[in-house]
Structure 1
Amino acid sequence: MRLKREQSLLLIVDLQVGLIPVLEGGEQAVVEARWLGGVAGVLDVPVWLTEQYPAGLGGNDPRLRESLEGARFWDKTRFDAHAEPGFAATLSASGRRQIVLCGAEAHICVLQTGLGLREAGYEVFWLAEAAVSRRSEEASLARRRIERAGGWTVSADMVAYEWLERCDDARFKDVHRRFLKPRSPRSLRFFD
């Protein structure tokens, strides 16, 4: 299943300031989500972010809020964002059927959102290096579960290049100049 930018939406679940310090790979998840969000912005792929109980967990990481212009923000109380009032109808109306999914905690809100999206017939692409939990074992279990439910595990580079499709598009040069450079040392240990 190949990602198409005109069918895609990037959904960043609960990468909030109160969670990031206690997540294994939390800082890297923010870097990767922000990076892919920037690529999405250039390619007109919508970016949505959710916040679970911001009064207690704080809001989305400021690096995400400041850099993802035009992103849509959703407050939620349900672990499954798709079950949140208005979310499903708005997503359906967008016409986007391929959801690139990441965030925290992978085994709770990200997984339940992914399962809800799969049950509703969406294609779910699990962004491996940006779907994190307090314990990496739980993130790995969640990834395997979403794969069994019909989702696919992807990396940020896979997504970016599938969205780009070709190197002779003017947007490729813009994206390449601004984003397709090394971001920081990182590991794809989440693929284990």
Structure 2
Amino acid sequence: MVDFQAGLLPVIDGGLQAIEEASWLGGLANLLGVPVWLTEQSPQKLGGSAASLLERLDDYQLWQKVHFSVMEESNFRDALAASGKTQIVLCGTEAHICVMQTGLGLLEAGYEVLWLTDATASRRCAEAELARKRACANGAQAVTADMVAYEWLYRCDTPEFKQAHQQFLKPRSARPVHFN
């Protein structure tokens, strides 16, 4: 989750919806033991991560950065490699700056990148759309929070599904996702 920062969100088109989707999927990730990593770009200037996001997450790792791509931060890059994870679900703000540069860096390093369309936004929606297109043209895959959630859950007859259904799989406000 890239730079969902309190000082930036008021100017982000669709920022509240992006936070809602990211926090919803992040809560499910916590339930299923999927690691949740957050970044903050110069938090002394842009503020820390939005409280509405953090309050829905039980467990997360926070990375502060000065580069637009967190892959340029050696401590993050080394920790990600050590985690053994190869598939990254990517979301955040601003899509056309930090999210896109992080996505391109992840792709270049050989990771599979799932671009979470309903949890990625910019000040101008046209820039968010162009960022998604560019990332996908370079190998990322556009997905939604629901797509990821049900792939993680895999089946409906498990205790995890039952718990997830009670806690997380409730209707959320709908925002159209446009794929042009």
Shorter-chain TM band: over 0.9
How much is the aligned-residue C-alpha RMSD, in angstroms? 0.8
1:59 aligns with 2:48: yes
Helix, strand or coil: the match of 2:89? strand
Quote the offset at 1:153 in angstroms.
0.1
Match of 1:37 among 23, 26, 32: 26
Match of 2:59 among 42, 59, 70: 70
Quote the offset at 1:155 in angstroms.
0.3
Quote the offset at 1:184 in angstroms.
1.5
Name segments (4+ residues, structure 1) moved above 4 Å.
none
Structure 1 residues without counterparts, runs of 5 or longer: 1-11
Q: What TM-score do the two structures reach when normalised by structure 2?
A: 0.98
Q: How many residues align?
A: 180
Quote the offset at 1:93 in angstroms.
0.8
Q: Where does residue 84 of structure 2 map in the other structure? A: 95
Question: Amino acid of the residue matched to residue 11 of structure 2?
Answer: V
Helix, strand or coil: the match of 1:39? helix
**Is residue 24–residue 56 contact of structure 2 (8 Å, CA) maintained in 1?**
no
Question: Amino acid of the residue matched to residue 173 of structure 2?
Answer: S
Q: Where does residue 2 of structure 2 map in the other structure? A: 13
Question: Amino acid of the residue matched to residue 95 of structure 1?
Answer: G
Quote the offset at 1:70 in angstroms.
1.5
Q: What per-residue deviation string (whole Å, max 9, x for no partner) do you get for residues 8-64 of structure 1?
A: xxxx00010111110110000110000000110111000000000111111100122
State the alpha-carbon separation in 1 of the partners of residues 141 and 174 from structure 2: 24
Helix, strand or coil: the match of 1:13? coil
Structure 2 residues without counterparts, runs of 5 or longer: none
Match of 1:187 among 168, 176, 179: 176
Match of 1:105 among 82, 94, 100: 94
